[in-house]
Amino acid sequence: MNIVQNNVHDYEEKAELLKALAHPVRLCIVDGLLQNECNVTKIRECLELPQSTVSQHLSILKSRGIIKGRRRGTEICYTVSNELVRELMKILTGKNVHIQGPEGKK
C-alpha cells in the first residue's frame, strides 16, 4: 500500500537546497564559513579562483537561504544562516557527530 506514494512535488524544495550544496567549491565555502565568517576576498584567496566565480557561488548559496552576508564598509561578511544546513554538514563531514544507531550494523 504505502510504497513510494509520496508526492514528488514535496521534494522540490529540498532538492533545491541539496543542489545548492552539491558542488565542491560551494561545499568548501559552507564548511569554511561554519568555522569562521569570512569576506569574499579571503574566500577567493583561499580557493584561488577568480572573484566573479566565487561571487557566483556565493550568490547561489545566498539565493537558497544557506548563507547571508552583512556589509561592513566596503566588504561583505558571510555566515551560514541555515540551521538545517548546519546539521546536514555535521553529518556529511563527520564532524561533531554521534551517529551509529543502537544496533550497530557492523
Partner DNA sequence: CTTTAAAATCGTAATATACAAATATAAAAA
Partner DNA sequence: TTTTTATATTTGTATATTACGATTTTAAAG
Q: Smallest distance, Å, CB 91 to DNA?
A: 21
- Kind of pairing between the strands at 38-39 and 67-72: unpaired
Q: Do residues 26 and 72 lie in contact, with contact meaning Cβ atoms separated by under 8 Å?
A: no
Nearer to a second copy, 71 or 103 (CB): 103
In the window 55-94, what residues touch DNA (CB under 7 A)? 55-60, 62, 69, 71, 73-77
27/88 Cα distance (integer angstroms): 11
User: What length does the chain have?
Assistant: 106
Residues at the contact surface with DNA, assessed by CB under 7 A: 19, 22-23, 25, 39-41, 44, 49-53, 55-60, 62, 69, 71, 73-77
